[in-house]
Amino acid sequence: MRAHPAGPLHGAFAPPPSAGMPPADLGALDEQVWPRSARRVDGELHLGGKPVTELARTHGTPLFVLDEGDFRGRAADFATAFDGADVHYASKAFLCGQVARWIADDGLHLDACSGNELAVALAAGFPAERIALHGNNKSLVELQLAVDAGIGHVVVDSFDEIDRLVPMALARMEAGGSPVSVLIRTTVGIEAHTHEFIATAHEDQKFGFSLATGDALTAAVRVIREPALHLAGLHSHIGSQIFDTAGFEAAAHRVVGLLGQVHQATGEVLEELNLGGGFGIAYLPDDDPVTPHDVAERLRTVVAAECAALDLPVPRLAVEPGRAIAGPGTVTLYEIGTIKPVRLGSGGQGAPQVRNYVSVDGGMSDNIRTALYDASYTCVLANRTSDAPPALCRVVGKHCESGDVLVRDLWLPSDVQPGDLLAVAATGAYCWSMASNYNYLLKPPVVAVRDGAATEIVRRQTLLDVFALDAVLAGRPAPSPAIDQPAPEHPVGARS
Ligand SMILES: Cc1ncc(COP(=O)(O)O)c(C=O)c1O
């Protein structure tokens, strides 16, 4: 049985640390894991040419620091690798006005999976025709927004949704508009995560139309017969943080099979095949993700072979990377507040094992992934390097929750102290976008760094922002001293 995520003290034994052996250099920045611009300058971490102490002083902590060159470089890598295909940035990973503009300017497409993600993209001026809208329960309002804005595709996910969409599409056509372009989201019966995939499982979930039951074919035929809808193609998405291409290949095989069935049943040759997102990234130095170039080559080869076998023309490919574009280029900076050594037990040879609980000024409200998915992260002491021997640590947040863990097991220099800055790597995807106000902590700002300049692209939430939602507190001043301002340096601080 799994121990309580906070630690094993409730049990009678001390499990071996899952941190592995301490690395030779505790301050090393593995290039797979850290943003492309990350450097140590006189021991201090610099991102986009900016020292982290300056960023923390100016913007406070916790702070998301986004390396613009890394983010846009990875988007460009996908665009180049998938030349001739459509690369949709999956905006659920991280979206704000500035990111929408970068993606628009760099020529990519964008995936929204709610009406509000769509609204953010449109408000930032993102070209509607390059947006696809996902969602298993799109409301009438969300669908109407998509239809009125003239987005590229609605990725339909249920028969109810088709029923809702048809009258809107008819009204648009009656007003002189074009049919609404649609992809059918299919459930291909494949689940892939990280190192493995299961090709017989995962029908039992909420997304898409099942291939196995014939619902996907029924939906496709239904859409084709609706004059106000245009069936542009098929979509499948098989999971996230995938490290090899076998699952995509199996999915491509199945979904191209459906292209063939649709052709047989209706004579229609569909023009697009969207194989979704899920390309993995390195959170830890040992992680070994595939490159966009290799994924693109494999997918092209497999789709071409499957189409040739069915005597079908090769459709235009589309993919939806989110994490692989947004994830690696962002780092979260935290300030250490307290350090608590906790004895774990004898550790086998009689020597007491100790784990330092290093508490920082954020936590599960700005990164829920460790608590939610048991995700693995790494972090370094950021404001300086140290020659002190390694100490087994667990980096935890300040929430009233023992599962509030950011980095479960790692080695940090044993002289880390309150006031030091920690940088957690690869937090660009599904961290800010999943942030909450648990314990009334405030959502951190996002600062984009590039060539020695820093721009706050999302400001820190204030207590007054939160008060404004409260029937009793709206309009009231926050108590003094204001606790939503960047913290003054900790008195014990070791920031250089
Ligand atoms: C339909 C769809 N496309 C793309 C993505 C993006 O996945 P990732 O960020 O892992 O690339 C997701 C993630 O859940 C998704 O559901």
pLDDT digits (tens, 9 = 90+) for 208-246: 999 999 999 999 999 999 999 999 999 999 999 998 888
The verdict on whether omega for the bond into residue 481 sits within 30 degrees of 0, i.e. cis, is yes
Per-residue confidence at 48, pLDDT binned at 50, 70, 90? very high
**39-66+328-484 and 68-326: same fold?**
no
Ligand 1 pocket test, pick from 71, 237, 275 with the greatest ligand atom count within 8 Å of Cβ, gives 237
Which helix (H) or strand (E) covers residue 381, if one does?
Answer: strand 379-381
Average pLDDT estimate for 295-324: 96
pLDDT at 451: 98
Cα(165)–Cα(295) distance, integer angstroms: 34
CB hemisphere CA count around 166 (13 angstroms): 12
Q: Mark out the alpha helices in 82-231 (DSSP H runs).
A: 97-105, 115-123, 140-149, 159-174, 215-225
- Kindly give the distance from the C-alpha atom of residue 89 to the centroid of ligand 1, in angstroms, as a whole number: 9
Question: Ligand 1: residues whose CB is within 6 Å?
Answer: 90, 93, 111, 134, 237, 240, 276-279, 320-324, 429
Average pLDDT estimate for 16-22: 68
- Kindly give the distance from the C-alpha atom of residue 90 to the centroid of ligand 1, in angstroms, as a whole number: 6
> What are the CA-CA distances from residue 56 to residues 117, 245, 373, 410 (Å)?
29, 40, 28, 23
Per-residue HEC secondary structure of 329-342 comes to CEEEEEEEEEEEEE
> What are the CA-CA distances from residue 338 to residues 361, 442, 492 (Å)?
9, 20, 10
Q: Which residue owns the Cα nearest ligand 1 atom 5?
A: 277
Average pLDDT estimate for 148-158: 98
Q: Do residues 150 and 200 lie in contact, with contact meaning Cβ atoms separated by under 8 Å?
A: no
Task: Indicate whether 314 pLDDT > 50.
Answer: yes
Strands 239-242 and 191-194, how do they pair? Answer: parallel
Please confirm, yes or no, whether 400 is among the known catalytic residues: yes
Q: Which residue owns the Cα nearest ligand 1 atom 12?
A: 277
Cα(228)–Cα(184) distance, integer angstroms: 15
Q: Do residues 273 and 234 lie in contact, with contact meaning Cβ atoms separated by under 8 Å?
A: yes
Per-residue confidence at 490, pLDDT binned at 50, 70, 90? low
Per-residue confidence at 57, pLDDT binned at 50, 70, 90? very high
Per-residue confidence at 39, pLDDT binned at 50, 70, 90? very high
Check whether domain 68-326 has CATH 3.20.20.10, yes or no: yes
Residue 320 counted as an annotated binding residue: yes
Token digits of residue 441: 């902590």
Q: What is the dihedral of CA 333, 30, 283, 191, to 10 degrees?
A: 160
Residue 91 DSSP SS3: coil
Average pLDDT estimate for 381-402: 97
Q: What is the mean pLDDT of the chain?
A: 92
pLDDT at 14: 43
CB hemisphere CA count around 87 (13 angstroms): 27
Rg (CA), the chain: 25
Encode pLDDT of 341-357 as tens digits. Answer: 998 876 556 566 889 99
Per-residue confidence at 264, pLDDT binned at 50, 70, 90? very high
Q: Where exactly are the structural domains of the chain?
A: 39-66+328-484, 68-326
What's the chain's length in residues?
Answer: 496
Per-residue confidence at 204, pLDDT binned at 50, 70, 90? confident
Q: Other CB atoms closer than 10 Å to residue 403's CB: what's the count? A: 14
pLDDT at 479: 83
pLDDT at 190: 86
Task: Indicate whether 167 pLDDT > 90.
Answer: yes
Q: Do residues 220 and 234 lie in contact, with contact meaning Cβ atoms separated by under 8 Å?
A: yes
Encode pLDDT of 88-143 as tens digits. Answer: 999 999 999 999 999 999 999 999 999 999 999 999 999 999 999 999 999 999 99
Class of domain 39-66+328-484: mainly beta
Average pLDDT estimate for 334-345: 93
- Kindly give the distance from the C-alpha atom of residue 320 to the centroid of ligand 1, in angstroms, as a whole number: 6
Task: Indicate whether 13 pLDDT > 50.
Answer: no
Residue 322 counted as an annotated binding residue: yes
Q: Which residue owns the Cα nearest ligand 1 atom 4?
A: 277
- Kindly give the distance from the C-alpha atom of residue 259 to the centroid of ligand 1, in angstroms, as a whole number: 22
Average pLDDT estimate for 165-174: 98
